[in-house]
Each structure stands twice: as C-alpha cells, then as structure tokens.
A and B are shown apart, each in its own frame.
Chain A
C-alpha cells in the first residue's frame, strides 16, 4: 500500500486514511456519530434506488428500439402487398434498411446508450415526417403507440445523463 490506510469506507468501500473526517469518495462521515452515519446511509440508499430506476428507463428505451424494428418488419409485410409492382423493390430495400438499423441501434443501446437513443429517436421521427408528407393521415394511425415510444426514448436520453451524474456522486464504478 502506498498510502497509509486503516480501513475502507462503509458506504463506497474506498480506502481512507485515519486523519480523514469524511470519505473523499462519497462524503461519508467517517468520524461522525452513529446517527449521522445512519442518516447518510439512508440518503445514499434513496439515491441508489433513483439510479436503478434511471437504469431501468434506459433499458426500456433500448427495448423500444427493438419494438420499432419488429413493427417495421410486420408493417412492411402489409405495405408490400398494397404498393405498385414497380415501387416494390425500393419499398422493400427501405424497409430492410430500417429494420436492420433499428435492430442494430437496439443492440448498441446496451453499450453506447446515448448515441443509440439519440440516433433511434431522430430516425423514428424522420420516418413519421416522411410518411406524413406522403399521406398526412398516417400521423394518426397508432398515435398512442407512437407517443409512448417517443416518450420512452426521450426519457431514456435524459436518464442516461442523470445516471452518469449520480454514479459520480455515489462513487460507483
């Protein structure tokens, strides 16, 4: 050991030296009264619950990308039957590209959530705009589902940023 330590912090398990009054990783009152220490730990617990709910929001947002991919695949089967013969190949290619793109973004959201969620959200919104230009009534088809998906994605993006901040505060990883 390079630095003289006598123990590890009760809250974040970081090593501390005997002269420290507070843990320098998480602010735990090392020399405080038991009440102070209990109060600190309970506050920390609340934040840890917040963190896990944020991670849950990120996970849900990532899953909604898989949902979009699935819906693209299903809806393309219906659309392909209705379009004219000469447009069929371009519609098919566009749908395959979209399906693969959303599937890829869904997997990417596990390792790089910010990039995957922002790309997924903008791609999804653009598709809605393009459909609306083609036929304005498409905005209203499945509008509840669309709003839910967009809501999950926006919530997910915010949760990634909030979770990063909270992790720093709690001295986790």
Chain B
C-alpha cells in the first residue's frame, strides 16, 4: 500500500472520515469526484481558450500573406496585435501564469553554455537552410530586403526578427499556451502540442526539419527549468545569429579573414 493512500479526508456529504484515495464514500455512497467534475469542465474550456488564442495568431500571420504590398507599417501593426493578444491572454490567467516569469535557480554558467550552443547551432542551421533554399527551391531568402530602405534598417531588423519573437513568442507559446495545455494533458503532450502549434504558425513546411526540434527543445527547457527566461535567451540568440548571417554571409566573413 502507498503511504499517501492511508491519509484521511472528510466525506463531502456525511462528514465521516474516509481514505483520501476513495472515489466514493464507503459510508453513504456519495461520489467524491465533484471537484474532478469541475476540473473536467475547465479542461474543455481551456482547450477552447487555446483555440481562440491560436486563431487570432493564425489570422494575424495569414493576413500578412493577403496584403499585396508588405511594408514596415503592416509588419509592425500585425506584430503589435499579436503582442497585445499574447499579453492579454497571459494576463487573463495571471495567478496561474505568473510563476513561470520567476527565475528560480538562476545559473550564469548554464546560461552561457546554452547561448554558445545556440549560436553554433544557429550557424549550422542557417548555412543548411540557405543551401536548401538556393539549390533545391532556387530562391534567395533575405530578411533584410524589407528593412533595406530605412536609415536604421539594421536595428529595426534586429528588433523585429530577434528581440520581438524572443519575448512575445516565448510568452505566447512556452508561456500562455503551455501553461493552459498543462491543465488538460501531461507534460510530454503539452510540449508536443505547443511545438506543433509553434511550427504551424511559421507557415513554412520546409522548416519542419529545424523549427520543430527547436520548439521541442524550448518546450523541454521550459518544463525542466520552470521558467521561460532560458527559452527567451536561447530564442533571442538563435534569431540574432540568423539575422547577423543574413547581413554578413558566411562566405564574405570567410573571405575577409583569409
């Protein structure tokens, strides 16, 4: 017998002492699952809330495809809508969500190692993605083109490609979504579902090879460390490296040094 099974509680109906593990009172037959019922109804509600939030995200991302001329204004407008919705949904369940904004067991060493590993991975991934795009799809993707005309284009690019996703995507996916999913499913499934949603929102099927494992890793990090901050840093440095390589391609850097 488990030790915890032998502790007692009071029946909700007849107030007699019963075992904590009892699903029904052995004196009056009353079900002790009333609290479970509440939890169960909340599960379906949680899923609906998740669906609503994700629909807003999808609509924002999809409308950028529908707009013929993508300029900085529409980009920032949609970013702002997504950021506000992420904050609103996160704040709506503030009591249960605030715990992951804390940073327990902060370890500078761990963070440094994570950042170094992230930068190295990002270099490899960017290199592979560029080659995949060029050789297989005959496309040359550049994030910079949309920012090029602006005087501070580089800084704007770093802000909207590295800083913005690091904070708000983490808040939305590893923060709000995962916290809600954990009330419905177990940890493994929550990591898995949030990663799939994170992959889907990027609207790129080819990126499954690196985006999905990346999301799984961020989800694992969030569960393991019980904070979103390691994820924020990893995400930031991953995107920052990709942006940097977009401005200064590896081939050019190689030529400069040698």
Inter-chain contacts of B25 with A (CB < 8 A):
22, 24
Binds A, one of B76-84, B143-151, B154-162, B195-203: B195-203
Inter-chain contacts of A20 with B (CB < 8 A):
26-27
Number of interface residues of A (CB under 8 A): 41
Inter-chain contacts of B58 with A (CB < 8 A):
126, 129
Inter-chain contacts of A98 with B (CB < 8 A):
205
Inter-chain contacts of A143 with B (CB < 8 A):
none
Given contacts A115-B193, A123-B196, A168-B36, whether A93 and B26 have CB atoms under 8 Å apart is no
Binds B, one of A42-50, A59-67, A157-165: A157-165
Query: CB-defined interface of A153-173 with B at 8 Å, one 1/0 digit per residue?
Result: 000011001101100110100
Residues B205 and A2 in contact, CB atoms below 8 Å apart: no
Inter-chain contacts of B62 with A (CB < 8 A):
129-130, 133
B137 proximal to A (CB < 8 A): yes
Main secondary structure of the interface of A (DSSP, over half): helix
Question: From B65, which residue of chain A is reached at the shortest CB distance?
Answer: A133
> In whole Å, how far is B28's beta carbon from the nearest beta carbon of chain A?
7
Residues B29 and A21 in contact, CB atoms below 8 Å apart: yes
Q: How far is the CA of A122 from the CA of B189 in the complex (A)?
A: 15
Binds A, one of B15-23, B116-124, B164-172: B15-23
Residues B23 and A122 in contact, CB atoms below 8 Å apart: no
Residues B26 and A22 in contact, CB atoms below 8 Å apart: yes
B192 proximal to A (CB < 8 A): yes
Q: How far is the CA of A162 from the CA of B192 in the complex (A)?
A: 21
Residues A24 and B47 in contact, CB atoms below 8 Å apart: no
- Tell me which residues from 87 to 110 in chain A have a Cβ below 8 Å from any Cβ of chain B: 89-90, 93-94, 97-98, 101
Residues B200 and A157 in contact, CB atoms below 8 Å apart: no
Inter-chain contacts of B65 with A (CB < 8 A):
133
Inter-chain contacts of A94 with B (CB < 8 A):
205-206
Inter-chain contacts of A3 with B (CB < 8 A):
1
Given contacts A114-B189, A161-B44, whether A89 and B26 have CB atoms under 8 Å apart is no
Q: How far is the CA of A165 from the CA of B40 in the complex (A)?
A: 7
Residues B192 and A115 in contact, CB atoms below 8 Å apart: yes
Question: With A89-B137, A129-B62 given, can you name 18 additional A-B contacts, CB distance below 8 Å?
Answer: A20-B27, A21-B26, A23-B24, A24-B25, A25-B22, A90-B136, A112-B189, A118-B47, A118-B193, A119-B192, A122-B196, A123-B196, A126-B58, A126-B200, A158-B44, A161-B40, A161-B44, A165-B36
Residues on A close to B: CB < 8 A?
Answer: 2-3, 16, 19-27, 29, 86, 89-90, 93-94, 97-98, 101, 112, 114-115, 118-119, 122-123, 126, 129-130, 133, 157-158, 161-162, 164-165, 168-169, 171
